[in-house]
Structure 1
Amino acid sequence: MLKLEEKQRLSQIVYSCYFTRSREGEQFIPEHVFSYQIAGTLTTNDGHKDYTFGEGDFRFSRRNQLVKFFKQPPENGEFKSLSIYLDQETLRKFSLEYGYKAEAHQENDAVLELKPNVLYKSFMDSLVPYLQENQSVNRDLQALKLKEAILILLQANPELKDILFDFSEPGKLDLEGFMNKNYHFNVELKRFAYLTGRSLATFKRDFEKIFHASPSRWLQQRRLQEAHYLIKEKGKAPSDVYLELGFEDLSHFSFAFKKTYGIAPSKI
């Protein structure tokens, strides 16, 4: 049995198992992901809304998204999920082989709930023995499994064609609106630059024109402002706030907060 947290990866196929206690964090989703929630609950937030998935649920996560996550194992049990990463190279090859093309750019939610389908379950079940028993799976078999996953998704959800085969990179976005929505994600500036369709140099130049401050200074001040509001007006604990707002650790958050407001967050 897998203990604590263990992830077994067969290239783009990942089995995740987490035991005993909940976990939270954030991540950038670089590729489309087709996932099956085997046990426990996963809650994600893209800065706009929450998405919650329980045992037996299937989901599709779009690439180039920022999300926060909370993994909750069942009582006295393990958190388990199985995910298939559909990379751009695989999808381009599939597009050429089968003639699929995106007809329009789709601005969907970061994570889509997929309606139950017997094909999903049988496909995911076929992967579990390899992953749990550490069996070696050759590259050709992995490629076939990825192709099978794409075919199943398209059969059950034809509308996913415009997402799967949209190979465009992020266009130049409204920087002010994007940053006010995503400031609480703790990612490198180059990631923010990429997601807003800019080089790092252009991102910094545009940022200072709009906000009249450097990105790092503005991000810290904006996060501290929100932290002050959540602690004072909403009664949240500093230990709950610092991760939510993108700070590395509680001591760094407390130091920056006291320097700005003249009082420790725990004293408000």
Structure 2
Amino acid sequence: MRILEADKQLPKIVYSCYFTRSREGEQFVPEHVFSYQIAGTLAMNDGHKDYTFNEGDFRFSRRNRLIKFVKQPPPNGEFKTLSIYLDQETLRKFSLEYGYTAEPHQEGDPVLALKSDVLYKSFMDSLVPYLQQNQTINENLQAVKLKEAILILLEVNPELKNVLFDFSEPGKIDLEGFMNRNFHFNVELKRFAYLTGRSLATFKRDFEKIFHVSPSRWLQQRRLQEAHYLIKEKGKAPSDVYLELGFEDLSHFSFAFKKTYGMAPSKI
């Protein structure tokens, strides 16, 4: 993966290139992302809905959402995507400069498929010379490019202002319902805490009041329970189930499964 950035710790313009099928680790989107699928296929899932993006597609991913995705390169080729990360500081400055404000917070799909537009394509193409030469975009030029990306998004999709300039943070929500819907996402506890509107300490305290067990213990038990159901009742393979349910590797999943159910998942 090659990165165009002003700050190597906080890349804003990212070019990803993979030769093999790939899954990301933590499945949390912290900032809005405007992306162009150059080659290959990206499959995404928010726990309720599937999204598929092919060569030439544009997409917008909303911040503070949980998403799983799989990167699939084309036959004998490379998976390539270009992503622009629109951080809150940049958007706040833009909002003040141009006077944009959002309507009251509205829920919506975590990922939006954007209709192809010549403005999108010309903007992404303008970054190609830097990608080809593996150069670093200096801080001032990067700031201009981020502003250009925002202006283009608003020109083509004016309704996005209610997403881009909504600076509210997640409020305190029903913890039990949220965890039962999202237990299969492989994210750190601090992400679950943040998305339910709690500090990590409050999240752990509230969690144990509701479930009478620690979050880590409950997550493993709940994932194993779902794995047993998917393997036994749905005929799914353990090699597919462990990633689907948030386990990081097959050996850890198999060990925990056998310890709980007395036999390896392959024997079910």
TM range (shorter): over 0.9
* Secondary structure of 1:15's aligned partner: strand
Alignment correspondent of 2:22:
23
Deviation track 1:198-242 (CA, whole Å, cap 9, x = no partner) reads 011111121122222211111111000000011111111111111
> Larger relative CO (CA 8 A, sep 6+): 1 or 2?
2
- Structure-to-structure mapping, 1:98-177, within 5 angstroms: 98-177=98-177
* Residue 9, structure 1, aligned to residue 17, structure 2: no
Cα distance between partner residues in 1 of 2:89 and 2:111 = 21
Distance 2:132 2:176 in 1: 46
Count residues in correspondence: 262
Q: Secondary structure at the match of 2:47?
A: coil
Checking the alignment, whether the CA contact within 8 Å between 2:4 and 2:137 is kept in structure 1 is no
Q: Does 1:231 align with 2:231?
A: yes
CA drift of 1:9 comes to 3.1
Q: Distance in 2 between matches of 1:186 and 1:80?
A: 24
Identity of aligned residues (%): 83
Alignment-mate amino acid for residue 169 of structure 1: E
Q: Give the Å deviation of 1:258.
A: 0.9
How far has the Cα of 1:179 moved from its partner?
A: 0.5
**Cα separation, 2, equivalents of 1:31 and 1:162:** 15
Aligned mates of 2:196, 2:148 — CA distance in 1? 33
Q: For residues 24-82 of structure 1, what are the alpha-carbon distances to aligned partners after superposition, in whole Å with 9 as ceiling and x for unaligned?
A: 23421110000000111001111111111001100000001111111111111111100
Distance of 1:266 and 1:154 partners within structure 2: 51
| TM-score, scaled relative to structure 2 | 0.95
Residue 191 in structure 1 maps to residue 191 in structure 2: yes
Following superposition, the deviation at residue 248 of structure 1 comes to: 2.1
Is the 2:40–2:71 Cα contact (8 Å) retained in structure 1? yes
| Counterpart amino acid of residue 266 in structure 1 | S
Q: Distance in 2 between matches of 1:7 and 1:176?
A: 40
Q: Read off the aligned partner of 2:37 and give its amino acid letter.
A: Q
Q: Secondary structure at the match of 2:24?
A: strand
Residue number in structure 2 paired with 1:258: 258
Q: Which residue of 1 aligns with 2:8?
A: none
Counterpart residue number, 1:43? 43
CA distance in 1, matches of 2:152, 2:266: 52
Could you say which residue in structure 2 is the equivalent of 1:205?
Answer: 205
Give 1:53's aligned amino acid: F
SS of alignment partner, residue 112 of structure 2: strand
Amino acid at match of 1:225: Q
Aligned amino acid, residue 186 of structure 1: N
* Residue aligning to 1:248: 248
**C-alpha distance in 1 between matches for 2:60 and 2:185:** 21
For the residues of structure 1 that align with 2:68 and 2:235, how far apart are their CA atoms? 21
Aligned-residue Cα RMSD (Å) equals: 1.1
- Matched AA of 2:176: E
Match of 1:181 in 2: 181
**1:162-205 CA distances to partner (integer Å, 9 max, x unpaired)?**
11001111111111111011101121111110110001111112
**Counterpart residue identity of residue 8, structure 1:** I
**Aligned partners of 1:88, 1:132: CA distance in 2, in Å?**
29
Mapped partners of 2:249, 2:22: distance in 1:
15
Query: Structure 2: which 5+ runs fail to align?
Result: 6-10
Tell me whether 247-256 or 220-229 shows the greater mean CA deviation.
247-256
Match of 1:140, SS state, is helix
The DSSP-based 3-state class of the residue aligned with 1:145 is helix
Q: Spell out, residue by residue over 1:139-175, the C-alpha distance to the aligned partner (whole angstroms, 9 max, x if none).
A: 1111000000000000111110011001111111111
